[in-house]
C-alpha cells in the first residue's frame, strides 16, 4: 500500500473513498472544506461515481446522507463545528433512528477561532446524542478511524462522529493507505419503518435500543487500540514508551496524564525519548472508565490535556473519589480558552518553555480586507453614503461571509454578525422594536443556507426591512465553492412573497453608484419588505475561470 503526504482533511477523504464511500454531503466551512473538495477532485471518486455536490446547509447535508445510508450505502457528511448546530435536529434524531449503510459525520472544530465566531467543542454533541466519537491524534489515525469506522458504524447500526480540530485538518503527515473496497449495493433493511418513523411509540423503543447500545459503545472504547495506557519506560532512543498493561499500582508515580486527540501528539513532541509519567491516550469515546480508573489508581494527581472544552476533565471529576487532584483547563494549569500547542502543553508539564513556535519576524501581521475590486465594496460604499447623508439612525444587521469584512475600516458599515441567517431575522426584530431603517446585508450562499425562512417571516409579518442580498455567485469566504443560490435569488424572493416591484437588481460597479444609492433610498422609504440584489461575480473566482480557460485553450 502507498504512503502519501496528506492533510488531515485529505486523509479522511481518501480513507472514505478507500472504504467504499458512495456519497459525501457537506456544506463548506473552515477547517472542514478540503475533505469534500478532495473527493470532488479525485479521479478515483469520479470513476466510482461518488456523489459530492455541495448542499445548501449542514442540515440538508446530514439528512441527505441519512437517505443514502437508508439505501445501504456508505456515506460521509462534513462540516465545521458551528455547522453541527445547524444540523443538530437531524444529528440528534439520526442517533434515535440509527443507520443502515455506514455513516460518518465529521465535525471540524476551531479552538482559538482562527476562522469562526466561537470555539465550541463538539465532543459534547457526541455525548449529547450518545453515539461514539473518534478523535484522531495524527493523520494516520484519522485515515484508519474512517477506514475502519465504516465497518463499526454498520456493525453498531449508528453513525460515528469524527471530531478533528484546525491543526489536524490543516497539517500534513505521512499516511499509509489501505486496499480499495467495493461500494455497498442498494439494500434497504427489512422492516425499515420500525426504525425510521420516529412517531412517539417507535421513538420510545428506539431510545431504549440506543440506551442499551451504550454498554457496547463503552466496551468498544475500553478495548480500543486508540485508547491506550502507557507507563514510563527507560528511555529508548527517541521513541515514546510502549503501551503497557499496568498491574500493581503503587501510588508513587505522581502525576498521570490524560491526553485526548491531537493533545497526545503535542505530548509526544515534549517527550521524544519516552514519557516520564503514566499516560492515558484517549481517541475514542465514550470515555473508557476502567482505563481511567487504572490510571488514577496509580497517581496522586491527573493532568488532562484536551483541545477545546474541559470535557474529559469535568467528567473525570464526576467519576472520581475525593482526594485526587485534577489539573487542566479548569484550575488554570492550561489556558481555558484557545487551542493547545506543544508549548503550552510543555508549560503545563512543568518543563522549560522554549519559543520554538513563535511567528517568524518575516511574517507581517495584516488585518483582513475585502479584495480590491470586490463587488461588496461597491455595495457598502453606496449604502454608507446614503446612511451618512440621510439616515443616521440606521442599523445594518449583517451576516457571515466575505461581506462581514465590511465591519472593518474603511467601511465600518455593519452593526452585527451572529450566525448564518441572523441578518434578516435580527433586522425584522429590530424594526419591530422601532429601529428605522433596519437593513440586512447577507451573501447569496448564506441566504440559501439560512436566510430564506427569515425572509418568509418578514413577508408574513409585513416587516419594514430592507434586505440586501449581495450576490457574488459563489461561496467566497470558504474559497469559492459553488453557491446553491446562483441564478435563483430573484425567483426565490418572488416565490416567498416579496412584491416583485420591490425586488431590485443591480450590478455593483462604480458606474452604477448613483443608481444604487437611489435604489437604496427608495427601498428604505418603502414601508414593507424590499430586497436589493447587487450581483457581480467574485473577482477571485472570475480570475480562476479565466486562467483555467486560457490553460485549456493552449
Interface contacts to ligand SF4, rule CB under 6 A? 370-371, 374, 376, 402, 472, 476, 538-540
Query: Cβ of residue 37: shortest distance to ligand TPP, in angstroms?
Result: 13
Residue 77-116 contact track with ligand TPP, rule CB under 6 A, x = bound: ---x-xx--x------------------------------
13 binds ligand TPP per the rule CB under 6 A: no
CB under 8 A, 24+ apart: contacts of 125-128: 125/84, 125/88, 125/91, 125/161, 126/161, 126/163, 126/285, 127/285, 127/286, 127/311, 128/92
Total site size for ligand TPP, rule CB under 6 A: 23
Q: How far is 94 from 91, CA to CA, in rounded Å?
A: 5
Query: Cβ of residue 523: shortest distance to ligand SF4, in angstroms?
Result: 23
Write phi, then psi, for 510 (nearest 5 degrees). -55, -40
- Grid coordinates standing for 225? 487500540
Query: Cβ of residue 115: shortest distance to ligand TPP, in angstroms?
Result: 8
- Using CB under 6 A, pick the residue from 210, 400, 493, 524 that binds ligand TPP: 400
Q: How far is 206 from 94, CA to CA, in rounded Å?
A: 11
300: CB partners within 8 A, 6+ apart: 251, 254, 255, 324, 325
List, in sequence order, the alpha helices (H) in 391-512.
Answer: 422-433, 444-446, 452-461, 489-496
Instruction: Please say whether the beta carbons of 68 and 25 come within 8 A.
Output: yes
Chain centroid offset of residue 332 CA: 27
DSSP string over 376-392 = HHHHHHHHHHHHHHH-T
Footprint of ligand TPP on 443-462 (CB under 6 A): 443-446
Q: Cα angle vertex 407, ends 37, 513, to 5°?
A: 95
Q: How far is 57 from 132, CA to CA, in rounded Å?
A: 24
Query: Cβ of residue 114: shortest distance to ligand SF4, in angstroms?
Result: 17
Would you say 85 or 530 has its CB closer to ligand TPP? 85
- Using CB under 6 A, pick the residue from 98, 111, 288, 401 that binds ligand TPP: 401
472 binds ligand TPP per the rule CB under 6 A: yes
- Grid coordinates standing for 144? 484508519
Per partner kind, with CB cut-offs from 5 to 8 A, the member of ligand TPP, ligand SF4, none near residue 303 is: none
Residue 357-396 contact track with ligand TPP, rule CB under 6 A, x = bound: ----------------------------------------
Would you say 278 or 443 has its CB closer to ligand TPP? 443
341 binds ligand TPP per the rule CB under 6 A: no
Write phi, then psi, for 486 (nearest 5 degrees). -55, 125
Per partner kind, with CB cut-offs from 5 to 8 A, the member of ligand TPP, ligand SF4, none near residue 374 is: ligand SF4
Would you say 21 or 84 has its CB closer to ligand TPP? 84
Write phi, then psi, for 105 (nearest 5 degrees). -110, 125
> How many helices and strands (H and E) does the chain possess?
22, 18
- Grid coordinates standing for 277? 509519567
Query: Cβ of residue 371: shortest distance to ligand SF4, in angstroms?
Result: 3
CA-based end-to-end distance of the chain:
36
Residue 21-40 contact track with ligand TPP, rule CB under 6 A, x = bound: ------xxx-----------
Residue with smallest beta-carbon separation from ligand TPP: 443
Per-residue exposure over 238-268, b if at least 16 CB sit within 10 Å of its own CB, e if not: eebbeeeebeebeeebebbbbbbbbbbbbbb
Would you say 115 or 270 has its CB closer to ligand SF4? 115
Piece of the chain touching ligand TPP by CB under 6 A; list 90-98, 149-157, 273-281, 400-408: 400-408
* Best CA proximity match to 262, nearest among 343, 141, 133: 141
Query: Cβ of residue 105: shortest distance to ligand TPP, in angstroms?
Result: 14
Query: Cβ of residue 108: shortest distance to ligand TPP, in angstroms?
Result: 10
Residue 417-446 contact track with ligand TPP, rule CB under 6 A, x = bound: ---x----------------------xxxx
- Grid coordinates standing for 507? 450590478
Per partner kind, with CB cut-offs from 5 to 8 A, the member of ligand TPP, ligand SF4, none near residue 82 is: ligand TPP
Piece of the chain touching ligand TPP by CB under 6 A; list 187-195, 474-482, 528-536, 540-548: 474-482
- Grid coordinates standing for 177? 493507505
Would you say 107 or 472 has its CB closer to ligand SF4? 472
Would you say 177 or 425 has its CB closer to ligand TPP? 425
Q: Which residues of this chain interact with ligand TPP, rule CB under 6 A?
A: 27-29, 80, 82-83, 86, 400-403, 420, 443-446, 472, 474-478, 483
Amino acid at each position: 500500500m502507498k504512503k502519501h503526504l496528506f492533510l488531515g482533511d485529505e486523509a479522511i477523504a481518501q480513507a472514505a473513498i478507500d472504504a467504499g464511500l458512495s456519497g459525501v454531503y457537506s456544506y463548506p466551512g473552515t477547517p472542514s472544506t478540503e475533505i469534500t473538495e478532495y473527493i470532488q477532485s479525485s479521479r478515483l471518486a469520479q470513476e466510482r461515481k461518488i456523489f459530492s455536490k455541495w448542499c445548501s446547509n449542514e442540515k440538508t447535508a446530514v439528512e441527505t446522507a441519512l437517505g443514502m445510508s437508508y439505501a445501504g450505502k456508505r456515506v460521509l457528511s462534513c462540516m465545521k463545528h458551528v455547522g453541527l448546530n445547524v444540523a443538530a435536529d437531524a444529528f440528534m434524531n439520526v442517533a434515535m433512528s440509527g443507520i443502515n449503510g455506514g455513516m460518518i459525520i465529521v465535525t471540524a472544530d476551531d479552538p482559538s477561532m482562527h476562522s469562526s465566531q466561537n470555539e465550541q467543542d463538539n465532543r459534547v454533541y457526541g455525548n449529547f446524542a450518545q453515539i461514539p466519537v473518534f478523535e484522531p491524534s495524527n493523520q494516520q489515525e484519522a485515515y484508519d478511524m474512517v477506514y475502519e469506522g465504516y465497518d463499526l458504524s454498520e456493525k453498531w447500526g449508528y453513525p460515528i462522529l469524527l471530531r478533528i480540530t484546525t491543526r489536524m485538518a490543516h497539517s500534513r503527515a505521512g499516511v499509509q493507505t489501505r486496499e480499495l473496497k467495493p461500494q455497498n449495493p442498494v439494500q434497504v433493511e427489512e422492516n425499515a419503518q420500525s426504525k425510521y418513523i420516529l412517531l412517539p411509540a417507535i421513538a420510545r423503543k428506539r431510545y431504549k435500543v440506543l440506551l442499551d447500545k451504550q454498554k457496547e459503545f463503552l466496551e468498544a472504547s475500553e478495548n480500543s487500540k486508540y485508547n491506550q495506557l502507557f507507563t514510563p519506560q527507560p528511555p529508548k532512543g527517541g521513541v515514546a514508551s510502549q503501551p503497557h498493561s499496568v498491574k500493581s499500582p503503587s501510588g508513587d508515580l505522581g502525576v498521570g496524564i490524560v491526553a485526548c486527540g491531537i493533545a497526545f501528539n503535542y505530548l509526544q513532541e515534549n517527550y521524544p525519548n519516552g514519557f516520564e509519567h503514566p499516560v492515558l491516550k484517549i481517541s475514542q469515546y465514550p470515555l473508557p472508565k476502567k482505563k481511567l480508573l487504572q490510571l488514577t489508581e496509580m497517581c496522586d494527581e491527573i493532568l488532562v490535556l484536551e483541545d477545546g472544552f474541559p470535557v474529559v476533565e469535568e467528567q473525570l471529576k464526576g467519576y472520581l473519589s475525593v482526594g485526587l487532584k485534577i489539573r487542566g483547563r479548569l484550575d488554570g494549569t492550561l489556558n481555558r480558552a484557545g487551542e493547545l500547542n506543544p508549548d503550552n502543553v510543555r508549560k503545563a508539564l512543568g518543563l522549560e518553555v522554549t519559543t520554538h513556535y513563535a511567528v517568524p519576524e518575516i511574517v507581517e501581521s495584516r488585518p483582513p480586507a475585502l479584495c480590491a475590486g470586490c463587488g461588496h465594496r461597491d455595495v457598502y460604499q453606496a449604502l454608507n453614503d446614503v446612511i451618512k447623508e440621510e439616515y443616521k439612525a440606521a442599523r445594518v444587521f449583517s451576516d457571515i461571509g466575505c461581506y462581514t469584512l465590511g465591519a472593518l475600516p474603511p467601511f465600518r458599515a455593519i452593526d452585527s454578525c451572529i450566525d448564518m441567517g441572523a441578518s434578516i431575522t435580527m433586522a425584522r426584530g429590530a424594526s419591530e422594536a422601532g429601529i428605522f431603517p433596519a437593513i440586512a446585508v447577507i451573501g447569496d450562499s448564506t441566504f440559501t443556507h439560512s436566510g430564506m425562512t427569515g425572509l418568509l417571516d418578514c413577508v408574513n409579518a409585513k416587516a419594514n426591512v430592507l434586505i440586501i442580498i449581495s450576490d457574488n455567485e459563489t461561496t467566497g469566504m470558504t474559497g469559492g465553492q459553488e453557491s446553491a443560490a446562483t441564478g435563483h435569488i430573484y425567483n426565490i424572493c418572488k416565490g416567498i412573497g416579496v412584491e416583485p416591484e420591490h425586488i431590485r437588481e443591480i450590478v455593483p460597479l462604480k458606474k452604477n453608484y448613483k443608481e444604487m444609492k437611489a435604489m437604496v433610498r427608495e427601498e428604505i422609504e418603502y414601508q414593507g419588505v424590499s430586497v436589493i440584489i447587487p450581483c457581480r461575480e467574485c473577482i477571485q473566482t472570475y480570475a480562476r475561470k479565466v486562467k483555467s480557460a486560457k490553460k485549456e485553450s493552449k
